[in-house]
């Protein structure tokens, strides 16, 4: 079983807000091979913008409309992805994170992966997105798609997580793609926060450190053929393993 994380950076431009949702969703739908998948997508430019504007990192402060408005905007992305997948013959169904997860101080304390597993076993492709979860301390807290991917990978023993971004992989200080990194060498690399609400590339690296026995691939989903090659096991982008 593989988890494909369609990053917000692939779906929308971080600075201008330009929308690539339809294009990227079409590409994923066309290049997806037969197999068992979970798809998780990021919230994109509008999601990050509204989350910051509404100060949702502070938790629930009586701002129910703001939480609901953000979720409605992100659901538009989910709808487009599921539509493209089903149009290409993939049985994609949305699973809502707040229905299956709980958190405390922004960290997942409970995730009922059984529901996701049952959909998988029936041949469906579960689709989730970065979302708000009921939080014991904060009322509500934002859980990133990267964190959801890691939690599901651990609970369901995923063979691989493929992170689709807007870059060709993890780049070194000279802008060249690092084709392969072992878990042991990750901490020797230097990464900087890029302003993303969910931590961007650095967050992906930190999540990768929690996984043992799961291959991590970071690829460019703005380019045709990269997902096909990754699913075939070809060495595209950056691979983290070992």
Whether 171 contacts 12, CB under 8 Å: no
Alpha helices in 88-171 (DSSP H): 97-100, 113-121, 145-156
User: How many structural domains comprise the chain?
Assistant: 1
DSSP assignment of 5-41 equals: EE-HHHHB-TTT--B-HHHHHHHHHHHPPSS-EEEEE
Q: Is 74 helix (H, G, I), strand (E, B) or coil?
A: helix
Q: 């950076």: which residue's tokens?
A: 9
DSSP state of 169: S
Sign of CA dihedral 89, 24, 22, 100: positive
Q: 């393993």: which residue's tokens?
A: 241
Q: Domain limits at 88?
A: 2-241
pLDDT, tens digit (0-9, with 9 covering 90-100), for 43-96: 989 999 999 999 999 999 999 999 999 999 999 999 999 999 999 999 999 999
pLDDT of residue 108: 96
Sequence-ordered list of residues with C-beta below 8 angstroms from that of 111, at least 6 positions apart, any chain: 100, 101, 151, 152, 155
What CATH number does residue 96 fall under? 3.40.1160.10
How do the pLDDT tens digits run along the chain, 242 residues long? 999 999 999 999 988 889 999 999 999 999 999 899 999 999 989 999 999 999 999 999 999 999 999 999 999 999 999 999 999 999 999 999 999 999 999 999 999 999 999 999 999 999 999 999 999 999 999 999 999 999 999 999 999 999 999 999 888 777 888 888 876 666 666 554 444 544 566 667 777 677 777 889 999 999 999 999 999 999 899 998 76
């Amino acid at each position: 079983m593989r988890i494909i994380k369609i990053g917000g950076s692939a779906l929308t431009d971080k600075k201008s807000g330009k929308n690539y949702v339809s294009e990227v969703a079409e590409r994923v739908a066309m290049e997806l091979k037969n197999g068992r998948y979970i798809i998780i997508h990021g919230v994109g430019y509008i999601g990050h913008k509204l989350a910051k504007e509404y100060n949702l990192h502070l938790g629930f402060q009586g701002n129910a409309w703001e939480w609901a408005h953000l979720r409605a905007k992100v659901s538009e992305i989910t709808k487009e992805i599921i539509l493209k997948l089903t149009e290409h013959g993939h049985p994609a169904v949305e699973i809502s994170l707040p229905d299956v997860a709980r958190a405390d101080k922004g960290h997942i304390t409970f995730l009922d992966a059984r529901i996701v597993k049952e959909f998988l076993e029936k041949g469906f492709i579960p689709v989730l997105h970065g979302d708000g979860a009921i939080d014991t301390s904060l009322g509500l807290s934002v859980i990133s798609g990267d964190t959801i991917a890691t939690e599901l990978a651990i609970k369901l023993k995923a063979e691989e997580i493929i992170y689709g971004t807007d870059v060709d992989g993890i780049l070194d200080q000279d802008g060249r793609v690092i084709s392969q990194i072992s878990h042991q060498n990750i901490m020797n690399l230097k990464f900087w926060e890029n302003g993303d609400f969910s931590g961007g590339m650095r967050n992906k690296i930190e999540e990768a450190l929690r996984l043992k026995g799961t291959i991590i691939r970071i690829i460019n989903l703005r380019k045709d053929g990269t997902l096909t090659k990754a699913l075939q096991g070809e060495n595209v982008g950056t691979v983290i393993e070992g």
